[in-house]
Amino acid sequence: MTHKKIVVLGTGGTIAGRAGSASDNIGYTAAQVGIAQLLMAIPAIAGTGSVIVEQVAQIDSKDMSFALWSQLAARVNHFLARPDVQGIVITHGTDTLEETAYFLQSVCRPMKPVILTCAMRPATALVPDGPQNVLDAISVAWHAGAMGVVAVCAGTIHSAFDVQKVHPYRLNAFSSGDAGALGYVEEGRLRLLRNWPLVQEVRPLCAIDIIAKLADPAKCPRVEIVMSYAGASGAIVQALVAQGVQGLVVAATGNGTIHHALKAALLEAQTSGVKVVRATRCVNGQVLAMPGDPISDSKGLTPVKARVAMMLELLG
């Protein structure tokens, strides 16, 4: 009989950070402690033999790249294909966790659980939050019937489609907005509130093709985010179009409204062949489209996730 295992992939982040003092929770350097060392410091995990550990990267997640996404997705797919693997946990920085989660859900479309977890305090903190987050993530990975990409932080489970970082300091820095949390981890037990994330669309390219294209910077479509605000102009859009941008996501005010000068430039860009999509810059809610809107909406995706979705669409 094959004993199931959980794979833990390390990518760095605050959870692997070091500070000069245990009382310093912000003046740290991210991505200093290896994933194997992190897990050895958690007695409930160390020496159990049920965990496979691999260091995929060691970065501050603000520096996440398409090439690293490609590498990470390849390792996720590798382990998902193994029959002895129950699920995958990825330690990740908080800054771009929501983008990585949405990317992995869209590309890997896992029928096993893939859990991203993190920390708001470095490993050297007097009371680090990383170890408990890792334990909670592993509990989710072991849960029968769990599937799809989720994020686990501060005892809360968030779907890859909904999770976003909403606070720069608090331990419960993530929210699922109007959708609400997928569930909670309480003393190692799950209390689910809604269904696991499922594949929402079929992409023209298979995961292998997408991963290969992302690994080559020359094949990555350039998609940028611009914002509408008081006094906005079309200058940035015009400059980006001149540089050959292929897609633009506009973080619009309110229900997808855009400053008239910026909108004129976006419509001109759209006419020239640049793909343009509107998302709202509001933390909650989504753009409610109206018939005849000249710029399509992001179907509820935040600006950063809409950018990932557009990039994947353009890859096809």
What amino acid positions are annotated as catalytic residues?
14
| Of the candidates 142, 129, 151, 108, the residue with the CA atom closest to the CA atom of residue 6 | 142
* Residue of 51, 49, 60, 48 whose CA lies nearest to 11: 60
Closest CA to 165 of 273, 23, 26, 304: 304
Between vectors from CA 99 to CA 93 and to CA 101, what angle results, nearest 5°?
Answer: 80
- Give strand pairing partners of 165: 174
How far, in Å, CA of 119 to CA of 152, rounded?
A: 10
What is the per-residue DSSP string for 188-207? Answer: TEEEE-SPPP------SS-H
Q: Contact, 298 vs 278, CB < 8 A?
A: yes
The distance of Cα 147 from the centroid of its chain, to the nearest Å, equals: 16
In contact, 103 and 308? CB cutoff 8 Å: yes
| 283: helix, strand or coil | coil
Q: Are 42 and 134 contacting, i.e. CB atoms less than 8 angstroms apart? A: yes
Question: Measured between alpha carbons, how far is 267 from 254 in angstroms, rounded to an integer?
Answer: 19
